Amino acid sequence: MALISVFVSLGSNQQREFHLAQGLDELQQHFGDLLLSSVYESPAVGFNGPAFFNMVVGFTTELPLDALAARLRDIELHHGRPSDAVKFSSRTLDIDILTYADWHGRFATLSLPRKDLLSYAHMLLPMAEVAGAMLHPGGADDYQTCWRQFSDTAQRIWTVDYQWQGRVISQQGSIIWPEAAAMVLPAELPGELWQPLTSND
């Protein structure tokens, strides 16, 4: 099978630094080179709970969609996520498939691209950061354009200081939405913050 480009979101609001780093370690172990967004903090959505750390990760895989979903589910379970976890609740580690190549539609239990990708700042902003020029499957706009059009100022999100494997992934306050005077777009970010991390780094 040819290599498929995949983007997933990672989130945690329980021991956030630890579980996010462990999730990245396992993704690197299984899939090799990773493309990482900044790490963002945002309030919990849909329930009262601690704030989340979120990011988007890109990689390639030969796994069919169902096998990929199962692999990611195993990583979640390995980090203590209950198999019967309700939708809006705290998470040690949450991994959601956002896109799988340019697939568009319903596939078994998955909708692709993820149906709320364009609705939540904690998914859309990091996606625009790492894949800004990529067209949203089934739509006419790329992710930078989608983010420029995002207008839900009730959703708050900001970057945090975060390192993984000794390398700076993000810096606190480089993006703050919506309090910043102007919406900061990925093209304006310092270039070193969104270079791919390779398995040899």
Return left, alpha or beta for 105; rule: phi > 0 is left, psi -120 to 50 is alpha, else beta: left
Question: Whole domain around residue 29: which residue ranges?
Answer: 4-194
pLDDT of residue 85: 54
pLDDT of residue 48: 75
Distance from C-alpha of 21 to C-alpha of 115, rounded to nearest angstrom: 26
Q: Is residue 156 part of a domain?
A: yes
Q: Is residue 201 part of a domain?
A: no
Q: What is the CATH number of the domain that holds 53?
A: 3.30.70.560
Residues linked to residue 157 through DSSP beta bridges, in sequence order: 177
Q: Is residue 77 part of a domain?
A: yes
Q: Is residue 124 part of a domain?
A: yes
pTM of the predicted model as reported, rounded to 2 decimal places? 0.86
Quick: pLDDT tens for 30-71. 999 999 999 999 988 766 788 999 999 999 999 999 999 999
Tally the domains of the chain: 1
pLDDT of residue 179: 67
pLDDT of residue 154: 87
